[in-house]
Amino acid sequence: MTNPSEAQRVERLSALSRQVSACRRCVDAGYIPTADPVGGARGRVSDRLMLIGQAPGRLSVARGMPFGGPGGEVLDDWLTRAGYPPNFLRTGVYLTALTRCFPGKVSGGKGDRAPSAAEMALCRPYLDAELALVDPELIVLVGGLAIRVMLGTGPLEHWVGQMVEQSGRHWLPLPHPSGVSRWLNAPAHRLLVDRALDQLAKWREERQ
Ligand code: SF4
């Protein structure tokens, strides 16, 4: 069977986006009260960089875009530090997540609840379809959960700072940029982010 043309991939991605936007699987299963899928297709089949986060937060839902809160600004700043032009997060990166609906807040806490394994399993076919259609050269994993699901267990310190080759793909693990995470407060951890961004800069330069 021949590989689909770019036009066919664009059409399939668009159909997938419509499917995600209409999805209510987690509501039907009783995991969340309402479905508000974000990022049906926040990117292009031609994007060479894909970024996988955990799940949208409240601001992302309100603005209808992944990483719509302050974390998105930090991520764009990190990309700029690796040599990409300003606003590249929005113009050159395929943005997606383990799940597409706001999971709600942690009960009694100020952070967002992490999606459960069952929710991630319901949403996973969308991510797998995107990976197949976009076929990115590099996947940036943002946050411990995305790293654990896509690469494996281990503390952030184990993963951040290296480019990983696994399952036939290249991965760059990064911490979540949100101010809620205290991991970035440690100078040693910020050095690991610097190292990761150096790896990204090198990867970008090699492909110019
Ligand atoms: S999180 Fe994913 S599977 Fe669950 S309702 Fe939203 S789009 Fe559907």
Residue 99 has pLDDT above 70, yes or no: yes
Distance 36 CA to ligand 1 centre (A): 8
Q: Is residue 196 part of a domain?
A: yes
Q: What's the total number of domains in the chain?
A: 1
The verdict on residue 147 lying in a domain is yes
The CATH number for 170's domain is 3.40.470.10
Residue 1 included in any domain: no
Residue 109 pLDDT: 72
**202 CA distance to ligand 1 centroid (A)?**
36
Host domain of residue 66: 6-206
Q: How far is Cα 4 from Cα 1, in angstroms, rounded to an integer?
A: 9
Condensed to tens digits (0 to 9), the pLDDT of residues 193-207 reads 999 999 999 999 998
Q: Residue 182 Cα, ligand 1 centroid: separation in angstroms?
A: 28
Cβ(119) – ligand 1 distance below 6 Å: yes
Amino acid at position 206, single letter: E
In terms of Cα–Cα distance, which of 155, 167, 153 is closest to 192? 155
Task: Ligand 1 pocket test: pick from 26, 32, 102, 116 the residue with the most ligand atoms within 8 Å of its Cβ.
Answer: 26
Residue 18 lies inside a defined structural domain of this protein: yes
**Which residue type sits at 196?**
A
Res 41: pLDDT: 59
* Residue 150 belongs to a domain: yes
Q: Is residue 48 part of a domain?
A: yes
d(CA 183, CA 158): 13
Ligand 1 within 6 A of CB of 61: no
Question: Is ligand 1 within 6 A of the CB of residue 101?
Answer: yes
Residue 42 or residue 55, greater confidence: 55
- Render pLDDT for 140-190 as a digit per residue (tens, 0 to 9): 999 999 999 999 999 999 999 999 999 999 999 999 998 667 899 999 999
Task: Kindly report the three-state secondary structure assignment for every residue of 148-208.
Answer: HHHCCCCCHHHHCCCCEEECCEEEEEECCCCCCCCHHHCHHHHHHHHHHHHHHHHHHHHCC
